[in-house]
Amino acid sequence: MARCPECDSPIELSKKVELGEFIDCPECGTMLEVISLKPLDLDYAFGEEEWEEEWEEEEEEEI
């Protein structure tokens, strides 16, 4: 069982889920990627640009 990073809903995954597998959140429909198996963890499948923007914002706050 993992949690959706978008809506925080618990997502039940099959036992044969693989690292890097894409999964749709049944609650919000966000495309997620399995980024870790132990512990099971999900992250946005296509959210790299958003992550970069967040990092830039943090850097500006520190300066």
Q: How far apart are CA 35 and CA 22, in angstroms?
A: 10
Stretch that binds Zn ion, among 13-21, 22-30, 43-51, 55-63 (CB under 5 A): 22-30
Least distance (Å) between residue 27 CB and Zn ion = 4
Q: With beta carbons less than 8 A apart as the criterion, state whether 58 and 47 touch.
A: no
Instruction: State in angstroms the smallest separation of the CB of 59 from Zn ion.
Output: 28
28 counts as binding Zn ion under rule CB under 5 A:
yes
Provide the 3-class DSSP secondary structure of residue 20: coil
- Rule CB under 5 A: which residues touch Zn ion? 4, 6-7, 9, 25, 27-28, 30
